[in-house]
Copies of this chain bind each other. A is one copy, B any other.
Amino acid sequence: MASSLSISSICSMRNGAELSNFPLTQKGSLKSAPSILLPGRRRSSGFPLFTRATQEHIVSPLPSYRPYEQEREVSPRFSGASTADAGVQKMYVYEFNENDRNSPAYLPFSLRFDLAKGRPSGGIGDLVTFTNKVYDGSLQTRLGITAGMHIMIKHYPKEKGHRYEAIFSFYFGDYGHISVQGSYLTFKDSEFAITGGSGIFTGVYGVVKLHQIVNPNKHFYTFELEGIPPLPSALTRTPVPPSASVRASRGAMQAAPGSVAPNFTD
């Protein structure tokens, strides 16, 4: 019992700790961010031009298996005029920690602590699992979430930051998801490899660049997507330029009808 408490006393730091450089902790500045004018195109028609059916499916009972004809099946995502590979396509999204998903969970297994500051100092062995909200670049639409983990690799005293190996995914509701991996650096912008995707992102490759706006609560991502058909227009709206004051539109934050991706991930 005593030991149980003491383990908690170490590990529960993940709730209270304010790691100076840690991504997207629970103490944000969103609450005091002023309302801002959103430039660019405004949401005009809710969720246009995306009529793809949900991917929900119940496999059993299976009506019939015809494995030898399977090559002729057409994936729904490739039906219609959007079959062609569209080259390099950019897609912009925002990732915000709005302090409502109990994220991140900082697991200080390196057992290295800055006792003067009363928090983990960050060493190899630390793990961080996280999930944040994802909005489209125009900040008019709630798309979904991020989900995954960071593996602490190295502390850079001069830069006052850390290198993590990041392995996570972006979820976009019925649009599908994109998985990525690479170095997350807390002290400058990062770039991840796209390792796979589902839904409209099936077969995707390329990279995604992370720009830190307010560390650790606001990230702006620029995807360079290859190997997939043209994106739906709902995902290619003109992005709001990143700044410390950006926040999602009221409708998107409230997940109001017309301000969310179809079956947005939450």
Measured CB to CB, the residues of A under 8 A from B are 1-12, 14, 40, 55-62, 65, 67-68, 70-71, 73, 75, 86-90, 92, 101-105, 107, 109-111, 123-125, 127, 129-131, 145, 147-149, 151-154, 163, 165, 167-169, 171, 177-183, 188-189, 191-199, 201-203, 205-207, 209, 211, 213, 220, 222, 224, 226-227, 236-239, 241-243, 265
**A–B pairs, 19, beta carbons within 8 Å:** A3-B5, A4-B9, A7-B10, A56-B188, A59-B209, A62-B242, A65-B241, A67-B239, A101-B154, A105-B124, A105-B125, A124-B129, A129-B153, A145-B153, A147-B165, A148-B151, A183-B265, A203-B226, A205-B227
Q: Specify which of B71, B192, B203 is in contact with A198 (CB 8 Å cutoff).
A: B192
Determine the chain B residues whose CB is within 8 A of the CB of A12 once the complex forms. 111
A60-B213, A165-B149, A222-B59 as given contacts; A181 in contact with B193, CB under 8 Å: no
Q: How far is the CA of A100 from the CA of B5 in the complex (A)?
A: 33
- CB-defined contacts of A195 to chain B, threshold 8 Å: 179, 181, 193, 195-196
